[in-house]
Homo-oligomer: A and B are copies of this chain.
Amino acid sequence: MSEQARARAVEPPFLIVNPKAYLGSADTLKLATLTDELAADFNVDVIFTAQHVDLRMVNRHTTNLTITAQHMDPIVKGRGMGHILPDSLVEAGAKAVVLNHAEHQLSLATLDATMQRAREVGLATIVCADTDTQCRAIATMNPDMMICEPTAMIGTGKMDAGDYISRTTTIVKNINPDILVIQAAGVTNGADISRVLNQGADGSGGTSGIVSNPDWRGVLTDMFTAIANHKQKA
């Protein structure tokens, strides 16, 4: 078992719940405690992201979630007014950080430095990529996880009609099979999740497919069920 595998923040198949900036603090806490309850019921690991200001609160009120920051900066203690200090995320209970999301893109040098900082403070890295070319380049950087998603699909509620999921998952796994691959673009229910897991992904879930659904418990239960079923089969 490799170092990386042992240090895994989550075990596949897992769920990602990524409310981005869709929810205020109270709603984030509501979604987090609900997800936490279901995570225990279904015995499924969960990446749960939140606004930086809410990370400590979510951590205090849950026990089964891998608390994840939505971004951080490659700074050390010192200057950096208005930037996100990695060390404080750890103190707040974060175990992972998403980097290079399509809505917050980083230069390659900054991404490199930020991944280095993540390793120094002990945060798992979840790095986003869009095209095959980007997936390949990022995979060589050995993040713990990757979110492969066609930028054009984000927030549409529609999944890629072609072979994006299996193709990009294979690209990543061929470079480093230890990288956990998340495919979540356009995913809105359990059937979608079953599909991407069957196509090789290690994790799935989403943002608008969950938070925009009026029945959070319903959609999450459907998603957890799909993952638990997939786990059983394995």
Residues of A in contact with B (beta carbons under 8 Å apart): 18, 20-26, 28, 51-57, 69-71, 75, 77-85, 87-89, 91-92, 94, 98, 100-112, 115, 129-131, 133-134, 136-138, 140-141, 151, 154-155, 207
Chain B residue numbers with a CB within 8 Å of A102 are: 81, 109
Please give the count of copies of this chain that the complex contains: 4
Check A103–B131 contact: CB distance below 8 A: no
Q: Which residue of B lies closest to A154 (CB)?
A: B79
The distance in angstroms between the C-alpha atoms of A130 and B23, with both chains bound, is 30
User: How far is A147 from B119 in the complex, measured between Cα atoms in Å?
Assistant: 27
Whether B18 pairs with A79 at a CB distance below 8 angstroms is no
A77 near B141: Cβ-Cβ < 8 Å: no
Contact at B103–A82, with CB atoms within 8 Å?
yes
Q: Which residue of B lies closest to A212 (CB)?
A: B78
| Sample of 16 more A-B contacts, CB < 8 Å, known A81-B102, A83-B103, A109-B131 | A21-B85, A22-B78, A23-B77, A25-B56, A25-B92, A26-B91, A52-B52, A53-B91, A70-B81, A81-B98, A82-B104, A102-B109, A108-B108, A109-B134, A137-B140, A137-B141
Answer whether A77 and B109 are a contact pair too, CB < 8 Å, given A84-B51, A84-B52. Answer: no
A21 near B141: Cβ-Cβ < 8 Å: no
Give the nearest-CB partner of A25 in chain B.
B91
Chain B residue numbers with a CB within 8 Å of A28 are 88
A105 proximity list for chain B (CB < 8 A): 107-110
In the A-B complex, the 9 residue pairs with the closest CB atoms? A71-B82, A82-B104, A21-B80, A105-B107, A25-B91, A52-B52, A137-B137, A81-B103, A81-B101
CA–CA, A55 to B52, complex, Å?
A: 9
A26 to B81 alpha-carbon distance, docked (Å)? 18
**Using Cβ atoms and an 8 Å threshold, which residues of chain B touch A137?**
108, 112, 137-138, 140-141
> Given A136-B140, A137-B138, A140-B136, A104 and B87 touching (CB < 8 A)?
no
- 19 A-B pairs with CB atoms under 8 Å apart are A24-B87, A25-B56, A51-B84, A53-B53, A53-B55, A56-B56, A70-B81, A71-B81, A79-B103, A81-B101, A82-B104, A105-B107, A105-B110, A108-B108, A108-B137, A109-B134, A112-B130, A112-B137, A133-B140
